[in-house]
Chain A
């Protein structure tokens, strides 16, 4: 424990404080960005921002995303699909049209997940202001299914769309999950001559299906 005491002692002495000095109240947290958008406006803004960052927006309000996902899988012809354990995802998987695909179990090994061609997950929250998905690891097993396959399809319940980052930070379940992951568009890099390349370590395609 010695280094801890040395560092804290140095911090205190340079600040001319003692460990039991008073702590002033931190500055208030202002609400930033627009927080008053109605549901329709939120959805429109989310779709726009998602497209701006290279994601694709689909509406699947009537059929739980069945038509959108069926179309995507027909085009992608995946050899295997990594699926999270979300109820909405499991419901799709049972569907006659989609059942013939090679779906991995929700507890697939790393090796299987690395080899999957498509990952299908839910999302716990979304942010209209930035076109961002929020994945809460305590609610769903989607930490790797959303990351390792080259295509990520996310089913977003329309009721989970919030206006701003500040709202999400307030709304996240406490205690916090081991991982809350914020996803804004497909993986990207511009490390070679600042040329934008999509799909470096994460997915090159991100599809959000609003259900």
Chain B
């Protein structure tokens, strides 16, 4: 999986990100805008909980019978002339796509925004083979010009200011150095249309794959996905095996949840429901459609109920926007193409656990991600489960050495909390030593812990005493 920054170094990455004020400002703005939009479309919607549980029930059912629905999807897709390929891992997926692009004789591919192609580092593989792969979503194109992976699942270049993008475009595209957002967008339209007109292959992901009809459904706002899947002679879609839904009718509830959670829209501008290549030679649309079904660690997550729910994710990005950690450190600190709370649970299950052992700890367990999730994934429970697995270790990933100081402190705390008498004595002593607080707050180890947090001060009188006084009155 693409690693922008080493994911083992989350704490260091996060510290660096905290120094970047422009980035933090942009993240704050995004969190506010998305928070308000999400509230507007979700709160005050009496049907929201019903939609959530309906969608989750469909996902749970599908995942529990995934083999059945994958085979059904394949059968229907083949019947409509779509060619279906299976990829166990990233290398196999990029190999299949590369083979198809070469067979099509294409030297230029246009790409629609797809996290799955980022996951398998498809662009890198294509470029390595001398094939130009152009991202066509505006945000993705900005990131590609800048040589960066997406910063946010839905708004890839959310961390860049208009001025930064104008400077980037002036350098790479030749627009005036102080162009505004409208001029930059117009320049992107012109430049990318030349690519669409010449590209031999269009590559996309898919939001949903429908077993009943062998169709793909893809959502977007810009129109680049329609272009990618309509203009080039060949369309290749890379689709995770968890994207399958049983019936066409199941789309209704997901098309209500995904746009509202992703961007706060009632519906995105375009949905393309695609079923196979063109039926007659004179028709519009691609001559060939290929679907590459990707496992890459997903089937493993089916084994346990707690991990299986990770596969219900519809990649809306709502959990990023509400996460207090993501809001401060942003997407790149996670070192994975999947950032934020969902990234912190998905990434450690896709790569060897030891490589992403820090990520399950990159959370305060506040639960905002679970509350906002449109398919009610219990992310905090997953984080705890993965933390436990990191601590216990496995043959592939030996346990991380627990810190001695932390272990000692926990043992002391456990002893202290076990007896009311000892607890009362310790609390009393601490309260008696309150005048020392300004001193020991500035001494290690507390001074180090305090660097990023505020220490709560002990109240002058404890609850027990207040309670006694109250009941006496």
Contact B165 A181 (CB under 8 A): no
Among the 9-residue stretches A5-13, A57-65, A89-97, the one with 4 or more Cβ atoms under 8 Å from chain B is A5-13
Chain B residues whose CB sits within 8 angstroms of the CB of A79 once the complex forms: none
Query: Are A27 and B86 in contact, CB atoms less than 8 angstroms apart?
Result: no
Docked-complex contact A192 and B223, CB < 8 angstroms = no
**How close is A20's CB to chain B, nearest CB, in angstroms?**
10
Chain A minimum-CB-distance residue to B142: A191
B204 at the interface (CB under 8 A from A): no
Q: Which of A6, A111, A137 contacts B285 (CB 8 A)?
A: A137
Q: How far is the CA of A17 from the CA of B230 in the complex (A)?
A: 39
A87 part of interface (Cβ distance < 8 Å): no
Confirm or deny: B16 has a beta carbon within 8 angstroms of a beta carbon on chain A: no
Residue of B nearest to A30 (CB): B54
Shortest CB distance A120–B (Å): 16
Given the complex, which residues of A lie within 8 Å of B193, measured CB to CB? 114, 201
| CA A98 to CA B69, docked complex, whole Å | 51
Chain A: CB-nearest residue to B26: A193
The reply on A178 being an interface residue by CB < 8 A is: yes
Tell me if A195 and B181 are in contact (CB < 8 A): yes
B295 located at the interface, meaning its Cβ lies under 8 Å from any Cβ of chain A in the complex: yes
Contact between A182 and B267, CB atoms less than 8 A apart: yes
Q: Does B427 contact A (CB under 8 A)?
A: no
Tell me if A201 and B66 are in contact (CB < 8 A).
no
Q: Are B270 and A184 in touch, CB under 8 angstroms?
A: yes
Give which listed residue, A19, A182, A194, A203, contacts B273 with CB less than 8 A.
Answer: A182
Q: How many residues does chain B have at the interface if contact means C-beta atoms less than 8 Å apart?
A: 93
**In the complex, chain A residues whose CB is within 8 Å of the CB of B26:** 193
B173 at the interface (CB under 8 A from A): no
Contact A12 B67 (CB under 8 A): yes
Q: Is the CB of A178 within 8 A of B276?
A: yes
**The residue from A15, A164, A178, A195 contacting B278, defined by CB atoms under 8 A apart:** A178
Interface membership of A47, Cβ < 8 A? no
Query: Is A4 on the interface with B (CB-CB < 8 A)?
Result: yes
- State A143–B61 Cα separation when bound (angstroms): 35
Interface centre among A14, A111, A192 (most CB of B within 10 A): A192
Q: Which residue of B lies closest to A197 (CB)?
A: B185
Stretch at the interface among B118-126, B152-160, B333-341, B414-422: B152-160
Q: Are B138 and A114 in contact (CB under 8 A)?
A: no
Give chain B nearest CB distance to A116 CB in angstroms: 12
| B231–A144 CB distance below 8 A | yes
| Contact across chains for A181 and B273 when beta carbons are under 8 A apart | yes
Q: Which residues of A contact B215 (CB under 8 A)?
A: 176
Which interface residue of B158, B256, B284, B300 has the most chain A CB atoms within 10 A? B284
Given known A-B contacts A3-B87, A14-B300, A29-B250, A189 and B275 have beta carbons under 8 A apart: no
Interface of A is mostly: loop
Q: Given A7, A23, A30, A182, which contacts B88 in the complex, CB threshold below 8 Å?
A: A7
Instruction: Please tell me if A24 contacts chain B, counting CB pairs below 8 Å.
Output: yes
In the bound complex, residues from chain A placing their C-beta under 8 Å from that of B227 are: 147, 201-202
Segment touching B, from A36-44, A66-74, A154-162, A165-173: A165-173
Question: Would B273 and A180 count as touching, CB distance under 8 A?
Answer: yes
Q: Is A185 an interface residue (CB 8 A)?
A: yes
User: Within 8 Å of chain A (Cβ to Cβ): is B252?
Assistant: yes
Tell me whether A26 is interfacial, beta carbon within 8 Å.
yes
A10 touches B181 (CB 8 A): no
Contact yes or no, A176 B188, CB < 8 A: no
Partner of A3, one of B71, B88, B247, B282: B88
List chain A residues, Cβ under 8 A from B273.
176, 179-182
Q: Cβ of A201 and Cβ of B192 under 8 Å apart?
A: yes
> 4 new A-B pairs (CB below 8 Å) besides A130-B266, A184-B269, A191-B155?
A107-B282, A169-B249, A191-B137, A201-B224
A-B contact list, 21 entries, CB within 8 Å = A10-B300, A29-B249, A33-B256, A137-B283, A141-B284, A143-B226, A143-B285, A147-B230, A166-B249, A174-B213, A176-B273, A178-B277, A181-B271, A181-B273, A182-B271, A187-B270, A188-B222, A193-B161, A197-B181, A197-B185, A200-B185
Write the residues of chain B forming the contact surface with A, with a CB cutoff of 8 angstroms. 26, 29-30, 33, 47, 50-51, 54, 57-58, 61-62, 64-68, 70-71, 80, 86-88, 92, 136-139, 142, 155-158, 160-162, 165, 181-182, 184-185, 188-189, 192-193, 197, 213, 215, 221-224, 226-227, 229-231, 241, 246-253, 255-256, 263, 266-279, 282-285, 293, 295, 299-300, 302-303
Pick the 3 closest A-B CB pairs, nearest first. Answer: A202-B223, A191-B139, A201-B223
